[in-house]
Amino acid sequence: MLRAVRARDWTGIAGYFAGRPHGEDPSLAVNAVSAVRGSERFLQRMVDTQRTPLARTLLGARLIKMGWDIRSGLRARHVNAAQFEAFHDYLSRAERVLAEATAEDPANVAAWTQRLKTCRGLQFGLDEARRRYAMVAKHHPAPFIAQSQLLQQLCPKWGGTFEAAYEFARDCLVSAPEGALSGAMIAEAYVEESLDRGPRVLSGKPAEEALTEAATRSVLNPASPREHGWVQAHTSFAAAWTLRRHPGAAAVHFRALGGRASEYPWISMGSSPSGELRQARRVARRHSK
């Protein structure tokens, strides 16, 4: 599919998405398209000529990626006025095209998931974020990527509280089908609080029990499928156990990953994310022998 994007082959792109299993959340595939540099001009032409929800969803996702690259992942106090202006311009353009996509196809899970990003970046507030998430959840029983997006919004750095983040993460775990990736929201909530308040938040017995239960019910459950998102789910558990300084537990997830890893949450865990990841793998490997 990515080769088709780089070749500007709309037939190949549309065929890929049309051929995905029924009910699968295409959000990670949409994210992958958004990372293809220069694709925005081609995607704009497809919006103008094809006028389909898919074309609008892909263009909207690309505009969001471009805007967030300008803003960077730094806290707001480290982002200058010019960056914010460009960021908001890109997100406003994305919001318009994505709103058209969801108006035409209200069951467009990927477009609603992208609109959680514009909601956060344009500061539309928690109530609107929850409304958009409800539209995703209406059409998917365990929308892992959308859950991860809303969890970010619920954290203090975007105007929420950790209490709200943990409550949402717990709801994701208990309401999801057996083996669904949603249990990783527990790991992501602990990682986010640890990065904000320090690793001591992971040191107690409640954190250990919560992570163990969540992993057992989700990615370590025999019913857990290798669907899009499984790499991020295992990576989040590996990162949480690493921050807890429990490399033996992290090793289970590193083994499941093989040589894979998602960018999040390592990109938030130090000045050298790849170095942090390699070190965590080495330590986990020693403790798993």
Burial 167-202, CB ≥16 within 10 A → b, else e? ebbbebbeebeebbbbbbbbbbbbbbbbbeeebebb
pLDDT band of 79, cuts 50, 70, 90: confident
Q: Is the pLDDT of residue 215 over 70?
A: yes
Q: Where are the domains of the chain?
A: 1-123, 141-289
**pLDDT tens-place string over residues 90-143:** 999 999 999 999 999 999 999 999 999 999 999 999 999 999 999 999 999 999
Q: For 220, how many CA atoms within 13 A lie in the half-sphere containing its CB?
A: 17
pLDDT band of 74, cuts 50, 70, 90: low
User: What's residue 126's pLDDT?
Assistant: 96
**pLDDT tens-place string over residues 1-35:** 999 999 999 999 999 999 999 889 999 999 999 99
- Cis bond before residue 265 (omega within 30° of 0): yes
The three-state secondary structure class of 115 is helix
Whether the CA torsion 152, 153, 159, 163 is positive or negative: it is: negative
Average pLDDT over residues 222-250: 95
Separation of CA 269 from chain center: 16
